[in-house]
Amino acid sequence: MRVLVTGGAGYIGSTAVEIMRHQGFEISVLDDCSTGHADSVPSGVRFIQGSLLNEKEIAEALMGVDAVIHFAGKSLVGESVEKPDLYQRVNVGGTRNLLDGMHTAGVKKIVFSSSAATYGEPAVIPIKENAQTSPTNPYGATKLEIDHMIHAESEIRNIAAVSLRYFNVAGALNCDRGWLSERHNPETHLIPNVLRSSGETPVRIFGGDWPTPDGTCIRDYVHVIDLIDAHIKALNSLELGVHEIYNLGSGDGYSVRQVIAAAARAKGQEIPTIDSPRRTGDPAVLIADISKAKSILGWSPSRGIDEMVSDTLASFN
Ligand SMILES: NC(=O)c1ccc[n+]([C@@H]2O[C@H](COP(=O)([O-])OP(=O)(O)OC[C@H]3O[C@@H](n4cnc5c(N)ncnc54)[C@H](O)[C@@H]3O)[C@@H](O)[C@H]2O)c1
């Protein structure tokens, strides 16, 4: 199958490219390298360094393609609060351009990177796909708007679509080119920040008085290799005229202190921390119900928090 990977120079996209090309997929990449890195795209892969905001570059990228995996976009919650227009333009407007380009090119299959941020503050844990969606920031709102747009596209233009709502993606892939890992700047994700903490830059714990067993927030983490496995299963599950949504997490939660303890085990040393006040908009607990992905896609994550932490640490060296 010939697959266009948008955002294929980013953290998750470049991992997908690497795994999928070794499984026999013929890959093209469209990425403007605004947060990704051209050197993450392997030589031999067709690479259009271009933008979702440019219809010609989209058309070029879609030439000869059977399906699209759409990772490209802006994904920093804090930045989205400061620049909601940018998130609207790139995430929503860019996806509109992509869907129109697919229509023109006759490409009818798409797997989209949605997010747990579409749910907002959950009323029930674990979170099912039919839970209420009430995003608490512009980033989550754009992901929800895109899910709705893709749903309409499946009805109106008969495309086959899956939205995968990731919880927290972590870990790294060791391949023949070395480690593919998170290279975000700024890095907002907990695991790399915990592993990089030092006496001068201790990791900040936002709130120690949450209604959780150790008082810190609980989140659901999924290894990036397991996540890509779900994308391949999603690609194979696509049906014309149908849009499905699946949560992707581990179905388990880890508190901030449990992640710090895992990092201390991996490094063999204490992790410097500093207590900070709660951040507004942070729910106490976010855990995915992944039973739909398990039963319909036949997907099951196999890597736990220790592997996510130790792979991330290994990728730094
Ligand atoms: N990392 C996570 O934990 C997580 C969780 C939920 C959802 N997601 C979603 O997964 C996707 C990938 O996330 P990531 O962590 O790999 O982020 P990333 O920033 O590493 O990758 C995003 C890629 O999109 C590219 N891009 C941005 N704007 C573009 C544009 N206008 N045209 C073309 N390319 C553009 C960037 O250059 C980058 O390579 C994003 O859509 C994100 O919202 C990630």
High-pLDDT (> 90) share of the chain, %: 95
Residue at token pair 């892939």: 173
Same domain, 111 and 205: no
Cα distances (Å, whole numbers) of residue 237 to 42, 246, 297: 27, 12, 7
User: In this structure, are residues 219 and 190 in contact, taking their beta carbons and an 8 Å threshold?
Assistant: yes
In terms of residues, how long is the chain? 317
Q: Where is the domain boundary, 232, 248, 264?
A: 248
Active site residues: 139
Between CA 190 and CA 170 the distance in angstroms is 9
Q: Which of the four pLDDT bands, split at 50, 70 and 90, describes residue 5?
A: very high
pLDDT at site 317: 77
Q: How confident is the model at residue 281 (pLDDT cuts 50, 70, 90)?
A: confident
Measure 249 CA to ligand 1 centroid, in angstroms: 17
Are both 181 and 194 inside the same structural domain? yes
Same domain, 17 and 152: yes
Together in a domain, 98 and 228: yes
Quick one: 286 and 151 in the same domain? no
CATH number of the CATH domain containing 273: 3.90.25.10
209 and 228 housed in the same domain: no
Full domain range(s) for residue 162? 2-170+221-248
In the structure, which protein residues have their CB atom closer than 6 angstroms to any atom of ligand 1? 7, 9-13, 30-36, 51-53, 71-75, 90, 94, 113, 115, 166, 168-169, 184
What pLDDT does residue 280 have? 81
Q: Which two tokens stand for residue 167?
A: 């919880």
Domain count, the chain: 2
> How far, in Å, CA of 180 to CA of 178, rounded?
7
- Residue to probe by mutation, ligand 1, list 12, 139, 227, 308, most atoms within 8 Å of CB: 12
pLDDT tens digits along 140-191: 999 999 999 999 999 999 999 999 999 999 999 999 989 999 988 888 899 9
Q: Are residues 76 and 16 in the same domain?
A: yes
Average pLDDT over every residue of 5-33: 98
The mean pLDDT of 47-61, rounded to a whole number, is: 98
Same domain as 200, residue 160: no
Same domain, 137 and 210: no
pLDDT for position 185: 87
- The verdict on 124 and 188 lying in the same domain is no
CATH value at residue 113: 3.40.50.720
Burial label, 254 (beta-carbon count in 10 A; 0-12, 13-18, 19+): buried
Taking residues 206-233, report their average pLDDT.
Answer: 97
Q: What value, to the nearest 5°, has the Cα angle with vertex 174 and ends 172 and 176? A: 145
Do 164 and 22 have their domain in common? yes
Q: In whole angstroms, what is the distance from residue 20 CA to residue 236 CA?
A: 13
Q: What angle do CA 281, 285, 289 make, to 5 degrees?
A: 120
In angstroms, the CA 84 to CA 131 distance is 25
Q: Are residues 205 and 106 in the same domain?
A: no
CA distance 146 to 304: 30
Q: Is the pLDDT of residue 76 over 80?
A: yes
Query: E strands, the chain, where?
Result: 2-6, 26-30, 46-48, 67-70, 109-115, 160-166, 168-170, 173-175, 178-180, 203-206, 218-219, 221-223, 243-248, 254-255, 273-276
The domain boundary, picked from 198, 232, 248, lies at: 248
Tell me how far the alpha carbon of residue 10 lies from the centroid of ligand 1, in angstroms. Answer: 6
Q: What is the mean pLDDT of the chain?
A: 96
At residue 279, the pLDDT reads 87
Q: Which residues contact 246 (CB under 8 A, 6 or more apart)?
A: 129, 162, 163, 164, 165, 230, 234, 290, 292, 293, 296, 297
